[in-house]
Structure 1
Amino acid sequence: MDRPVVACVLAGGLGSRLYPASRRDRPKQLRSLVGERSLLARTMDRTAFADEQYVLTRESFADTVSEHAPQAGVLVEPAGKDTGPALVYAAWRLRKQFDTEPVLICLPSDHYVADDAAFATRLERAAEIAVETGGLVTVGVEPTRPSPGYGYVVPTDGLEADTDDYAAVTQFTEKPDREHARELIDAGAYWNVGVFAWKPSALLAAARNSPLAPLVESLAAGDPRGGFEAVEASSVDYAIIERATNVFVTPLSVGWDDLGTWDAVGRILERAGDESNDVVAGRVLAIDATGNVVAAPDAHVSLLEVDDLIVTAFGNRLLIAPRDASQRVRDVVDRLRHRDAF
């Protein structure tokens, strides 16, 4: 390719649904929840093919991020306002870093990928498509179940992960109910997993026709902080991608999961073994107990005649909840924030 490929890894979130492992001063991307290396370090490994790597994070995480990604540059966003403002800011900053406009590969730091080599190959191809089309490219993961927790992207024509390269996007649907998700999958939809490729100029042009236009104007005037103050928090999907006309999807068919909940962490551990309970950390005695997710690195946990629970203990914080309520852990964190106890 005649321009640099730059990996931009998003690592500024708090990961509230993985409380109490994820806290204000130690978010999930800096934890080793699956394997021995942190989620951020593993993400940096699978983007090592890029010419340069950057991590986009908040100021309070910057020093610790450098410990987990010493090879990467660190971009500090002026404020935490979700992925929309963050990625517009990164595009503006990184376009100025290079003599030739780069192509950016933007991805979260908290995903599980079963085949790093296949993932890297697809990201490299996504970068090429972004240059070929001049558009915004999303990597669509082939669904394995009708999950209501993910967004869905429908290509204009049939798109086979094993044979087709990419297609234009005709529809985005964010977190449908289970029945609608099943209908979308039957219609050929892919999971929209927040992995993108684009030239900075393409994203900035699309942002000028979006609710983030005030941010683009302020960045052009050299006032990033004022630009962040002028816009609401919003995801890049909602603010830009779903409104743009030049959006393409390229398919990925490897094992993937968003490690955003304890249930998701349990799913990954289930793939790795055949234990009746999924132990992230700690020592567990289980008697007539199955399907529980246990994360208690400094404790011994005894389970007796209980099924499908989340049992987590980090420091002086303990959380016990039904496994199917893993999305609602965020409600706990919201209450704790009101008490300044997160």
Structure 2
Amino acid sequence: MDRPIVACVLAGGSGNRLYPASRPGRPKQFLTLGGDRSLLSRTLERVQFTDERYVLTTEEYVDTVHEHAPSAGVLVEPESMDTGPALVYAAWRLRDRFDAEPVLLAVPSDHRVEDEAAFAATCERAAELALETGGLVTLGVEPTRPEVGYGYVVPAAAENDVGDVASVDRFTEKPDREDARRLVEVGAYWNAGIFAWTPTVLLRAARDSPLEALVSALEDGEPERGFEAVDAISVDDAIMETTDDAYVTPLSVGWDDLGTWDAIGRALDGDEDDTVVLEGDVLSIDSEGNVVTAPDRHVSLVGIEDVIVAAVDDRLLVADRDRADRVRDVVARRRTEETR
């Protein structure tokens, strides 16, 4: 391919669903979560196949990003406003930095990938497809179960398929269990939030979206004004779900989004009674399917199943694993109470 591939690693969020380990002062991308290096460090290593690597973050995390990703460039968003404004800003910043317009590869910093060689090959192919289609390419994970915690990408009918890429029929938000089963049966993919596109194509699509005011302000050289003019919104909601130029290519690499305690439990091996321990001294009696992190603490579990126990600093969370996604509601509730 005669264009550079540039990785844009998203690292500006706070990771509310991994509370209390992940909090505004130490978001999940800087945590190890069962490994020996941070999620951000592992992600940067995973995208070493690209020609250039940039971390997209906010001012408050710049120094920490440099510690975890010293060889990567850093793009500082004027404000943390979800992936829509962030990726449009990155496209504007990177469009003219190279002799030939690059293909941008947008990669979240909180994923687990088992087969990193296959991941690199699929991402390189996605970059080629972005040029071949002239559109916005999303990587769809081939599902292994009817997961209710992920969004889905439904490809268009088979007659519209071209090799290893299909146009997107629709995106579907997190379904209930029955709808998730139907989506898997019709060949839908999990929405991994990994994308490939050229800056020109993304900025053109953003002009016909809720981010139009941001694009106009960026072209005027006024990014701060642009961020003030739009609401926080994901790139899926702002652009991918409404554009006619979305394409999907399958990703089969042993993937998981480490955004919840339940996902952390799936990613790590449990001990003999199937309790996953990230940190802490844990005694488990007649208990299974639990996820525990309790640095410098002793925790005893007796006769409980499928529970999250997270004790960090002065905060304790106990939650049902099936409701791990609702941990973000705890953060929202506490934030509201603290501002009263």
TM-score tier (shorter):
over 0.9
- 2:323 maps to 325
- 1:32 maps to 32
- 1:75 maps to 75
Q: Shift of residue 34 of structure 1?
A: 3.0
CA distance in 1, matches of 2:272, 2:239: 42
The reply to whether residue 285 of structure 1 matches residue 307 of structure 2 is: no
SS of equivalent residue, structure 2 residue 268: helix
Per-residue displacement from partner, 1:211-257 (whole Å, max 9, x unpaired)? 11010000000111111111111110110011111111110112111
Range with greater deviation from structure 2 (321-330 or 113-122) = 321-330
Per-residue displacement from partner, 1:156-185 (whole Å, max 9, x unpaired)? 2349xxx95211111211112221121111
* Structure 2, unpaired ranges of 5+: none
Q: How many residues align?
A: 337
- 1:204 maps to 203
- 2:264 maps to 265
- 1:302 maps to 300
- 1:57 maps to 57
Matched letter for residue 199 of structure 1: T
Q: Shift of residue 155 of structure 1?
A: 1.4
SS of equivalent residue, structure 1 residue 32: coil
CA distance in 1, matches of 2:74, 2:227: 19
Quick check: 1:129–1:137 contact (8 Å CA) kept in 2? yes
- 1:144 maps to 144
C-alpha spacing 1:135/1:274, structure 2 compared with 1 (3 Å): farther
Range with greater deviation from structure 2 (131-140 or 149-158) = 149-158
RMSD in angstroms over aligned alpha carbons?
1.6
SS of equivalent residue, structure 2 residue 233: coil
Matched letter for residue 317 of structure 1: R
The reply to whether residue 222 of structure 1 matches residue 221 of structure 2 is: yes
SS of equivalent residue, structure 1 residue 75: strand
CA distance in 1, matches of 2:51, 2:87: 19
What are the equivalent positions in structure 2 for 1:1-342 lying under 5 Å apart? 1-158=1-158, 164-270=163-269, 275-340=273-338
Q: Shift of residue 277 of structure 1?
A: 0.4
Quick check: 1:111–1:256 contact (8 Å CA) kept in 2? yes
Q: Shift of residue 340 of structure 1?
A: 4.1
SS of equivalent residue, structure 2 residue 130: helix
Quick check: 1:298–1:314 contact (8 Å CA) kept in 2? no
Quick check: 2:273–2:287 contact (8 Å CA) kept in 1? no
Matched letter for residue 291 of structure 1: G
Q: Shift of residue 150 of structure 1?
A: 1.2
SS of equivalent residue, structure 1 residue 286: strand
CA distance in 1, matches of 2:179, 2:194: 23
Q: TM-score when scaled to structure 1?
A: 0.95
User: What's the % identity of the aligned pairs?
Assistant: 64
SS of equivalent residue, structure 1 residue 124: helix
SS of equivalent residue, structure 2 residue 232: coil
CA distance in 2, matches of 1:201, 1:273: 50
* Structure 1, unpaired ranges of 5+: none
Range with greater deviation from structure 2 (48-57 or 141-150) = 141-150
Matched letter for residue 314 of structure 2: N
Q: TM-score when scaled to structure 2?
A: 0.96
Q: Shift of residue 138 of structure 1?
A: 0.2
CA distance in 1, matches of 2:271, 2:126: 33
Quick check: 1:154–1:171 contact (8 Å CA) kept in 2? yes
CA distance in 2, matches of 1:66, 1:96: 24
SS of equivalent residue, structure 1 residue 243: coil
Q: Shift of residue 273 of structure 1?
A: 6.3
Per-residue displacement from partner, 1:45-83 (whole Å, max 9, x unpaired)? 110001000000111111101111111001111111110
Matched letter for residue 74 of structure 2: V
